[in-house]
């Protein structure tokens, strides 16, 4: 028995370093890239199966964790020509804590009128937008509007599986503009996309839908490239350091015909 226990202890001690390396690999940028590649393949399959535009939505939840959400175009249920909703029965995929994904663009219109969320104009992210200490960057929810904006974007495929640049505005499956479950005709029970009020007060939904231009969330064109960054390193930098760091990253492009990522590495 002593020999058996000693042997097991030896095998465990030898195996733990390999396990740690494996875990670190999934928490690294390469691990995030592998997850994104698999998700893109899944989105192309959904587009072909549903015979409609479908894709991946990158977005943070209220706790700041970034996810990939499978979305599909649905005018009938969203009431929008550019309207997408979450694919039913498919859970969002959380990216590794140490990694993040950005498209390096932000919306130019952060007004609070209903029409502002439909404005698709955007611009490259600027150094001054990356300063979390600047009150001008902080939205009504106390978070950096521009960082939320840059980390929220979509990649869309056509029914034939080709990458396309398509207007995107995500909304709940009930088609309610700015839902509020305390008001009878504005109730949405969508457990993926919903309003800040319903997420915070009713626990319904995970991600804020694109009806809130003042939070950096509104209509945008889908993307064909992005950067994968080290979230831990990014969080330690000031605005100048963040800007320089992001602009030295090589973008990851998506092959328009195969949906595969063209990585700089």
What confidence tens digit (pLDDT) does each residue in 78-104 have? 999 999 999 999 999 999 988 999 999
CA distance 205 to 104: 26
Which one, of 223, 238, 241, lies nearest residue 165 by Cα? 223
* Position 8 pLDDT exceeds 70: no
Q: Which structural domain, as residue segments, surrounds residue 232?
A: 31-262
Does residue 194 lie in a domain region?
A: yes
Average pLDDT over residues 32-45: 93
Does residue 49 lie in a domain region?
A: yes
Does residue 238 lie in a domain region?
A: yes
CA distance 164 to 55: 10
Residue 250 near residue 211 (C-beta atoms within 8 A): no
CB atoms closer than 10 angstroms to residue 164: 17
Could you give the residue ranges of the DSSP H alpha helices within 140-230? 145-150, 196-197
CB atoms closer than 10 angstroms to residue 98: 17
**Count of domains in the chain?**
1
Does residue 19 lie in a domain region?
A: no
CA distance 99 to 97: 6
Question: pLDDT tens across 138-174, in order?
Answer: 988 889 999 999 999 999 999 999 999 999 999 999 9
Does residue 60 lie in a domain region?
A: yes
Q: What confidence score (pLDDT) does residue 15 get?
A: 44
pTM for this structure?
0.87
Does residue 85 lie in a domain region?
A: yes
Q: Which helix (H) or strand (E) holds 34?
A: helix 29-50
Question: pLDDT tens across 119-148, in order?
Answer: 999 999 999 999 999 999 998 888 999 999
């Amino acid at each position: 028995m002593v020999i058996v226990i000693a042997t097991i202890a030896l095998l465990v001690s030898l195996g733990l370093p390999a396990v740690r390396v494996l875990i670190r690999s999934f928490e690294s940028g390469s691990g995030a890239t592998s997850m994104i590649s698999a998700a893109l393949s899944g989105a192309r399959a959904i587009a072909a199966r549903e015979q409609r535009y479908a894709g991946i939505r990158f977005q943070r939840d209220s706790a700041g964790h970034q996810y990939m959400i499978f979305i599909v175009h649905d005018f009938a249920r969203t009431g929008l020509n550019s309207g997408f909703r979450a694919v039913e029965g498919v859970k969002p995929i959380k990216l590794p804590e140490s990694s993040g994904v950005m498209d390096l663009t932000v919306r130019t219109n952060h007004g609070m009128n209903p029409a502002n969320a439909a404005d698709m104009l955007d611009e490259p992210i600027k150094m001054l937008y990356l300063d979390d200490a600047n009150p001008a960057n902080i939205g009504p929810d106390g978070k950096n509007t521009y960082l939320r904006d840059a980390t929220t974007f979509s990649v869309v495929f056509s029914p034939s599986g080709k990458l396309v640049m398509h207007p995107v505005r995500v909304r709940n499956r009930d088609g309610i503009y700015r839902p509020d479950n305390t008001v009878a005709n504005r109730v949405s029970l969508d457990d993926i996309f919903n309003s800040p009020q319903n997420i915070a007060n009713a626990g319904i939904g995970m991600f804020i839908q694109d009806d809130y231009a003042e939070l950096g969330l509104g209509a945008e064109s889908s993307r064909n490239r992005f950067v994968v960054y080290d979230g831990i390193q990014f969080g330690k930098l000031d605005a100048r350091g963040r800007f320089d760091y992001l602009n030295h990253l090589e973008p990851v492009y998506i092959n328009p015909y195969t949906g595969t990522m063209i990585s700089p590495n």
